[in-house]
Amino acid sequence: MPLDSVGHLLQTVVDLPFRDGYVSSIIYVSLYVSVIAVTLSTLFSIPVAIVMGFGDFPGKQFVKSVINTGMGFPSVVVGLLVLFTVSNQGPLGTLELIFTKEAMIMSQFVLATPPITAISLAAISGVDENVRDAAHVLGGTRVDVALVVLKEARYGIATAVLAGFGRAISEVGSVLIVGGNITSAGGISKTRTLTTAIQLEARQGQYETAMILGAVLVALVLTVNAVVVRLGDQEVQR
């Protein structure tokens, strides 16, 4: 790792953002794909967590173990499964989704859903029984009770969404397979994310650029974390 070229590194930092929107378009694609995937995943996961947190139904343990397995499911395999699904030969072949952002959203959705569901469920289950009882005693319907519990668990749920976002945006294997790491000839990203760009720059031996993109990625994740933590703090203080 050539760390002796500090001057060179600085030069790269200065040049990089002005390379015709290359970096900004990569950041945009990363955020676009991950935010949409995590939003959809949240809309899907929270209801599932609520049903599992409040209800008892046969097969609940099985669903739980499926979710827990999903937490550790290798992302590359998810990418492979999505590839088979959206490839021209696959069941969704007619939609021509291969090498598009939509295919990347699909794979990140699959990746983000298990942690969001599992952590939300833990947060909901962790709400004190007394809170539920109190809500019932005050004449709350099941919906009211659920809302009260969700309000109590909001911090845990925010953590869940964060964990999902973290998994989605730092994932490289599956988006590389289904997205194809494409930029237009003008150097504007179409399906190139921060992670796949880092992979490409490292492949070409452009370690400085790779490091800068890595720093951008870390900064992005930390910023999102900081914002959510702040929101949580304010809520707690109120």
Nearer to another protein, 44 or 207 (CB): 207
- Choose which of 205, 222, 230, 235 interacts with another protein (CB under 8 A): 205
Q: Which of the stretches 43-51, 73-81, 93-101, 127-135 binds another protein when contact is defined by CB under 8 A?
A: 93-101
- Choose which of 28, 99, 122, 136 interacts with another protein (CB under 8 A): 99
User: Does 185 participate in binding another protein (rule CB under 8 A)?
Assistant: yes
Name residues contacting another protein, limited to 72-91 (CB under 8 A).
87-89
| CA angle at 38 for the pair 37 and 40, rounded to the nearest 5° | 65
Query: How many CA atoms lie less than 13 Å away from 201 in the CB half-sphere?
Result: 21
User: Does 28 participate in binding another protein (rule CB under 8 A)?
Assistant: no
User: Does 7 participate in binding another protein (rule CB under 8 A)?
Assistant: no
Check if the beta carbon of residue 107 is closer than 8 Å to that of residue 175.
yes
Q: To which residue do tokens 């809170």 refer?
A: 131
How far, in Å, CA of 31 to CA of 190, rounded? 13
- Choose which of 58, 186, 236, 237 interacts with another protein (CB under 8 A): 186
Residue 98: count of CB within 10 angstroms of its CB: 21
- Choose which of 96, 128, 144, 233 interacts with another protein (CB under 8 A): 96
Check if the beta carbon of residue 209 is closer than 8 Å to that of residue 12.
yes
User: Does 204 participate in binding another protein (rule CB under 8 A)?
Assistant: yes
DSSP state of 184: -
Nearer to another protein, 8 or 142 (CB): 8
CA nearest 174: which of 159, 191, 151, 152? 191
- Choose which of 180, 221, 225, 232 interacts with another protein (CB under 8 A): 180
- Choose which of 202, 221, 228, 229 interacts with another protein (CB under 8 A): 202
| CA angle at 44 for the pair 39 and 48, rounded to the nearest 5° | 140
How far, in Å, CA of 209 to CA of 53, rounded? 46
Chain contacts with another protein (rule: CB under 8 A): 2, 87-89, 93-94, 96, 98-99, 180-187, 190, 202-207
